[in-house]
Amino acid sequence: MKILQINSVYRTSSTGRTTYELDEFLNARGHESYVAYGENKVAGKDVFHIGTNWDHKLHALLSRVSGLVGYFSTVHTKRFIKTIESISPDIIHLRNLHSNYIDIPLLLSYLSKNEISTVITLHDCFFYTGRCTHYTLDNCYKWQNSCGTCPRLMKDNKSWFFDRSKKMLREKKQLFESIKKLAVIGVSDWITEEAKKSILQNALIIKRIYNWIDLEVFKPEQNSFSPDFIILGVASYWSNDKGLDKFIELASHLSDKMKIIIVGKLHKNVDLPGNVVSVKETSSMKELALHYNSADVFINFSREESFGKVSAEALACGTPIITNKYTANPELVGEKCGYIVENTKEAFEAVNLIKKNKKTFYSANCRRFAENNFDKEKNTLKYLKLYEKLTEVYKA
């Protein structure tokens, strides 16, 4: 079987690592696996870079001026379609397309016209909204019927002048409904159920396959003893949407010998309390695993998560988690794996409970939950079976 994945990045960041790991799995199983991506050239067998840095910048500018997301890079998309024709894939697997590198309507029209079996993975909400990657913080659910008067024009994919969300949602609906062999995969139960209320509801297959964790890297390890009780948070870039304000608020309640460590990019103007330590972002999974293992508890205060991979990685390392009730976050708290809280006061109470019970009270359950739900071998195999099912339906 020939499979072509398309994503904004390859090998880097969460979706790039997932794309790379599935690529490796498929090649190891004897399939022909190809990847196309937009950002930051990397070497790799059967890996294709779409466009140029100059084109991506022009695409971003045109998007902000026009209000249309993913409607440019037409010349490079046509060239890429010739690459698709040369590969002649059985499956095209779409991941993140909204990074100013591909003409989305042109690509989807090609998939429809040529009746190519298509899988989309919902790493965020962009595929079923007019333009937004998330919407719950703005309490906006117009995407269920018709977008317009978008409250997030200056968030996600920014528009300086025009609101074209209604047009984009209408055209996405037409394009996705014209792809007969379409499978929609949510990375959590939450986003899968949201998709069932959306323009994607008539897809041939809609199901959940959790993101996976490399359980050989993210695993419990014995670390040197720390005299402090360590509370850990991890994000690519820290903002209040990711819960930075909640960590600062929590810090004011902590007793001596309790310390918060936040890993990720932090704006230089942020003033942190003395018991909050900022550690720079790392792309090393081994370094991340070391942070998770060094912590007594992991907290995810993010307000919008389609999955919450950092929570899953912490669990795999045997570290209990505290999180909120928003979006997919509660799904990742298995029995005796941590606590779901409503506010900072409850988070502080949960921290003290974990401190009292000790990390070892939770560790085995955390690891077991990760093994049962986020195993890389099991979940990549689910994608292979999905590919087989999607192509088999139309073989006759």
Q: Are 157 and 63 in contact (CB under 8 A)?
A: yes
- Are both 124 and 169 inside the same structural domain? yes
**pLDDT tens-digit profile of 344-368?**
999 999 999 999 999 999 999 999 9
Which pLDDT score, from 0 to 100, does residue 157 have?
Answer: 86
pLDDT value for 268? 84
Closest Cα to residue 309, out of 124, 99, 34? 124
**Residue 44: pLDDT band with limits 50, 70, 90:** confident
Please check the confidence at residue 41 and state whether its pLDDT lies above 90: no
Domain shared by 354 and 382, yes or no? no
Mean pLDDT of all residues in 36-57: 90
Residue partners of 224: CB distance under 8 A and separation at least 6? none
What percentage of the chain reaches a pLDDT higher than 70? 98
**Domain identity same for 17 and 164:** yes
> Is residue 242 assigned to a domain?
yes
Residue 26, pLDDT score: 96
Question: Alpha carbon of 271 to those of 266, 276, 277: distances in Å?
Answer: 10, 10, 11
User: Does the pLDDT of residue 24 top 70, yes or no?
Assistant: yes
User: Quick one: 35 and 84 in the same domain?
Assistant: yes
In a domain, 363, yes or no: yes
One domain, residues 250 and 173: no
86 pLDDT more than 90: yes
- pLDDT surpassing 70 at residue 303: yes
Give the per-residue pLDDT at 28.
95
Whether residues 158 and 249 fall in one domain: no
**238 phi, psi to nearest 5 deg:** -85, 130
Kindly state whether residues 167 and 278 are assigned to the same domain. no
- 298 sits in the region (left: phi over 0; alpha: psi -120 to 50; else beta) called beta
pLDDT bin (cut points 50, 70, 90) of residue 201 is very high
Q: How many domains does the chain have?
A: 2
Do 112 and 198 lie in a common domain? yes
Confidence of residue 59 (pLDDT cuts 50, 70, 90): very high
Beta carbons within 10 angstroms of residue 163's beta carbon: 17
pLDDT greater at residue 14 or residue 149: 149
DSSP secondary structure code for residue 297 in this structure: E
Residue 396's pLDDT is: 43
Q: In whole angstroms, what is the distance from residue 66 CA to residue 84 CA?
A: 29
Residue type, 184: V
Whole-structure pTM value: 0.93
**Is the pLDDT reported for residue 317 higher than 50?**
yes
Lowest-confidence range among 253-257, 260-264, 333-337? 253-257
Mean pLDDT of 71-95: 97
At 92, give phi and psi (nearest 5°). Answer: -115, 125
Whether 67 and 97 map to the same domain: the answer is yes
**247 and 175 fall within a common domain:** no
The arithmetic mean of pLDDT across residues 157-176, rounded, is 95
Does 219 fall in a domain?
no
Q: CA–CA separation, 227 vs 249, rounded Å?
A: 23
Query: Which CATH number covers residue 118?
Result: 3.40.50.2000
Q: For residue range 122-134, what is the model confidence (pLDDT) as tens digits?
A: 999 999 999 999 9
| CA nearest to 377, candidates 231, 216, 225, 257 | 216
Residues 85 and 52 occupy one common structural domain: yes
Mean pLDDT of the chain: 94
The residue-averaged pLDDT of 297-318 equals 97
d(CA 252, CA 270): 16
Query: Residue 39 above 60 pLDDT?
Result: yes
Contacts of 272 (CB under 8 A, 6+ apart): 248, 251, 266, 278
On whether both 205 and 263 belong to a single domain, the answer is no
The residue-averaged pLDDT of 268-290 equals 91
Of 43 and 237, more confident: 237
> Two tokens at 343?
């506010």
Residue 217 lies inside a defined structural domain of this protein: no
State the greatest distance between any 2 C-alpha atoms of the chain, in Å, as a whole number: 69
**What's the pLDDT at 395?**
53
CA 396 – CA 383 distance, rounded (Å): 22
The verdict on residue 222 lying in a domain is: no
User: pLDDT band for position 224 (50/70/90)?
Assistant: low
Supply the range of the domain harboring residue 358.
Answer: 229-373
**Alpha helices (H) along the chain:** 13-28, 53-66, 74-87, 104-113, 165-177, 189-195, 244-251, 285-294, 309-316, 344-357, 360-373, 376-393
Residue 221 belongs to some domain of the structure: no
User: Are the CB atoms for 81 and 88 separated by under 8 Å?
Assistant: no
Among residues 84, 327, 91, the alpha carbon closest in space to that of 205 is found at 91
**Residue 224: inside a domain:** no
Among candidate residues 383, 388, 380, the one with its CA nearest the CA of residue 90 = 388
pLDDT per residue as tens digits for the range 168-187:
999 999 999 999 999 999 99
Q: Domain for residue 100, yes or no?
A: yes
